[in-house]
C-alpha cells in the first residue's frame, strides 16, 4: 500500500434509480482499492445527497447529487472540481464512458488531473442486447459520439487479462489502443471479503464427498467472452481435484 497516495473515484449516474447509492455498498466497492492507496474516496456526482462524508478506515464515500439528473449533470464539473481541490488526490479513476469528457471539464486544465478510465462494459454489446442507450435518455448515435470524445479525454485506459475479451476490444479501438495499460487483474474482478469469509466457513464445515458425488455449477449470465465462462469451467476442474464439495 502506498500510504501517501490518495485516490479519487468519481461516478455519475443518469439511467434511473436502480443503482445502489448506499454508503455500505459503496464502501464495499472502495475497500478494494484501500489496499493500494493510503486514502480512497468515492464521490457520486448524481443521485441522492448524503448528509456527510461516510468514512471507514482509510475509505470514504459521499454523494453530492440532488436526485435531479439534469441539474446534477450540469453541475457535475463544478462539484468535482471543488471536491478535488480540497481533497488533492494523487490519481483520478472512473468507469464513466459517456460523460467523462464533461465531468473533467475543470479538473484537467485547472488541477492538471490525469484521469484513468476502467471500462467495465462494452457499449456496442449493450446497444445490441438492450436496443437502448446506456443513459436511457440520449439516442444511441449521439451517445456513441460522446463516448468517443470521452475516450480521447482519458489519459490512460486500464484493463486486465482476467476480464475476458476486454484487452482485445480495447486494442481494436485506434484511440484506446494508444492509452491502454494491461495488468494481470483489477480490484473490480477480485471477489469481496464476504466471499472469502463464506469460503473459510465452508472449508471448516466441509465433509468428505462420496465417490459418486457430482460437482454442479449454476451460471447466470450471457455467454460472451467478457464473462470468462471458460474460467468457471477450469475452476470446477481444480475444485474437483481438491475433493471440495461444490453445489
**Residue pointed to by grid coordinates 489519459:** 155
3-state secondary structure of 59: strand
Cell (9 digits) for 164: 475476458
- Pick the most confident of 33-37, 52-56, 121-125: 121-125
| pLDDT of 153 strictly over 50 | yes
Provide mean pLDDT across the span 101-123. Answer: 94
| pLDDT of 246 strictly over 50 | no
Mean of all residue pLDDT scores within the chain: 81
CATH tag for 2-189 (out of 3.40.50.2300, 3.30.70.1350, 3.40.50.2000, 3.40.50.300): 3.40.50.2000
3-state secondary structure of 44: strand
| pLDDT of 198 strictly over 90 | no
Provide mean pLDDT across the span 194-206. Answer: 70
Instruction: Judge whether 143 and 133 are in contact, CB under 8 Å.
Output: yes
- Pick from 114, 98, 89, 82: which is nearest to 11 by CA? 98
| pLDDT of 147 strictly over 90 | yes
Rounded Cα gap, residues 122 and 166, in angstroms: 8
| pLDDT of 22 strictly over 70 | no
The per-residue pLDDT for 54 is 80
More confident residue, 154 or 216: 154
Instruction: Judge whether 41 and 68 are in contact, CB under 8 Å.
Output: no
Q: What percent of the chain has pLDDT over 90?
A: 36
| pLDDT of 29 strictly over 90 | no
Name the β-bridge partners of 130.
none
The per-residue pLDDT for 93 is 94
More confident residue, 17 or 224: 224
| pLDDT of 85 strictly over 80 | yes
Give CA separation, 154 vs 70, 94, 101, 116, 162, in Å. 23, 10, 8, 6, 22
Instruction: Judge whether 20 and 42 are in contact, CB under 8 Å.
Output: no
Terminal Cα-to-Cα distance of the chain (whole angstroms) = 36
**Burial letters 54-76, b for 16+ CB under 10 A, else e:** beeebbbbbbbbeeebeebbebb
Residues in the chain: 247
Rounded Cα gap, residues 69 and 141, in angstroms: 21
Domain ranges in the chain are: 2-189, 195-241
- Pick the most confident of 3-12, 98-107, 232-241: 98-107
| pLDDT of 23 strictly over 70 | no
Q: How many helices (H) and strands (E) does the chain have?
A: 10, 8
Q: Which residues contact 169 (CB under 8 A, 6 or more apart)?
A: 122, 226
Amino acid at each position: 500500500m502506498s500510504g501517501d497516495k490518495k485516490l479519487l473515484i468519481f461516478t455519475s449516474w443518469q439511467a434511473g434509480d436502480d443503482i445502489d447509492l448506499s454508503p455500505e455498498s459503496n464502501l464495499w466497492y472502495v475497500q478494494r482499492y484501500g489496499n493500494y492507496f493510503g486514502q480512497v474516496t468515492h464521490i457520486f456526482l448524481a443521485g441522492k445527497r448524503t448528509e456527510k462524508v461516510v468514512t471507514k478506515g482509510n475509505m470514504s464515500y459521499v454523494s453530492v447529487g440532488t436526485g435531479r439528473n439534469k441539474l446534477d449533470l450540469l453541475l457535475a464539473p463544478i462539484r468535482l472540481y471543488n471536491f478535488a481541490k480540497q481533497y488533492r488526490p494523487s490519481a483520478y479513476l472512473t468507469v464513466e464512458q459517456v460523460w467523462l469528457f464533461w465531468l473533467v471539464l475543470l479538473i484537467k486544465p485547472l488541477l492538471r488531473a490525469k484521469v484513468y478510465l476502467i471500462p467495465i462494459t462494452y457499449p456496442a454489446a449493450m446497444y445490441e442486447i438492450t436496443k437502448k442507450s446506456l443513459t436511457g435518455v440520449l439516442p444511441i448515435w449521439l451517445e456513441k459520439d460522446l463516448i468517443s470524445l470521452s475516450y480521447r479525454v482519458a489519459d490512460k485506459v486500464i484493463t486486465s487479462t482476467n476480464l475476458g475479451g476486454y484487452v482485445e476490444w480495447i486494442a481494436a479501438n485506434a484511440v484506446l489502443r494508444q492509452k491502454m495499460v494491461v495488468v494481470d487483474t483489477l480490484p473490480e474482478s477480485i471477489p469481496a471479503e464476504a466471499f472469502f469469509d463464506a469460503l473459510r466457513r465452508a472449508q471448516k464445515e466441509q465433509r468428505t464427498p462420496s465417490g459418486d458425488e457430482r460437482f454442479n455449477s449454476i451460471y447466470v449470465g450471457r455467454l460472451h467472452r467478457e464473462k470468462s465462462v471458460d474460467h468457471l469451467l477450469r475452476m470446477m476442474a481444480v475444485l474437483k481435484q481438491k475433493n471440495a464439495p461444490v453445489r
